[in-house]
Amino acid sequence: MEFGEKIQKLRNQNKWTQEQLAEKLYVSRTAVSKWESGKGYPNIASLKDIAKLFGKTIDELLSNEEIIDIAKNENTTNMKRTNNLIYGLLDIISVLFIFLPLYAKKTEDFIYSVSLIGTNDISNIIKISYIIILSFLSLIGIAELIIQFVDNKKIQRILNVISLITETFAILFFAISRQTYLTAIIFIILIIKIIIVVKNISNKNDII
């Protein structure tokens, strides 16, 4: 008997609905439905709660192959969460580029590196554009971190795409306005984010 069938049988023996079981395990009804239909497995923490709730051992609920699958899925999920955390933090630190000495300030004999606020070689319109772009990236990063707690993969993907598009536009804009240091840093961050996206897609394919 598969794990999903065992859960469904134990639930029916206790005369619980999927909603009632979900409430006892602090998960969504959709999660319970997915487990029972064989479309997914609970994480390690939920699995322990299930075993305790029904008075069973994990070995009684799962075959060796199923235990290995859950461990792999758990590891992949943790890796994706870590990657998404790094991704969000890379966006959040964009606001720091407003204050770091990455912009040129020319004098008669020297060129100094100063913050965006401290430079006088950029027009106010360009300065405001920089601030808007970098602040927007930072806000996207905050949203990316918040959405991880909601665990909405669709919104997470949308935010990631918006982030990549905005960062690509920022690189072009900074390059055109001849901000060499800032362009190089943002470009490196973009490459790191692309690597993260590729790894997440690869992990997803591994599960499939």
Indicate the helix (H) or strand (E) that contains 173: helix 153-176
Residues 80, 57 share a domain:
no
Residues 184, 135 share a domain:
yes
Which residues neighbour 138 within 8 Å (Cβ) at sequence distance 6 or greater? 91, 92, 93, 94, 95
Q: How far apart are CA 74 and CA 42, in angstroms?
A: 9
Residues 200, 170 share a domain:
yes
pLDDT at 206: 44
> Domain boundary at 39, 62, 85, which?
62
User: Can you say whether residue 38 is alpha, beta or left, with left for phi > 0 and alpha for psi between -120 and 50 degrees?
Assistant: left
What CATH number is given to the structural domain containing 43?
A: 1.10.260.40
Residues 97, 32 share a domain:
no
Residues 82, 8 share a domain:
no
| DSSP-based three-state secondary structure for 113 | strand
pLDDT at 203: 66
Tell me how many domains the chain contains: 2
Residues 137, 197 share a domain:
yes
Q: How far apart are CA 119 and CA 112, in angstroms?
A: 9
Name the pTM for this structure: 0.71
Residues 85, 58 share a domain:
no
pLDDT tens, position by position, for the chain (208 residues)? Answer: 788 899 999 999 999 999 999 999 999 899 999 999 988 888 888 889 999 999 999 888 888 888 888 888 888 888 888 988 999 999 999 999 999 998 877 776 777 788 888 787 788 899 999 999 999 999 999 999 998 877 678 898 899 999 999 999 999 999 998 888 899 999 999 999 999 988 888 765 444 3
> Domain boundary at 17, 37, 62, which?
62
pLDDT at 204: 59
pLDDT at 188: 96
Residues 142, 112 share a domain:
yes
Q: How far apart are CA 93 and CA 88, in angstroms?
A: 9
Q: Show the domain range for 173.
A: 76-207
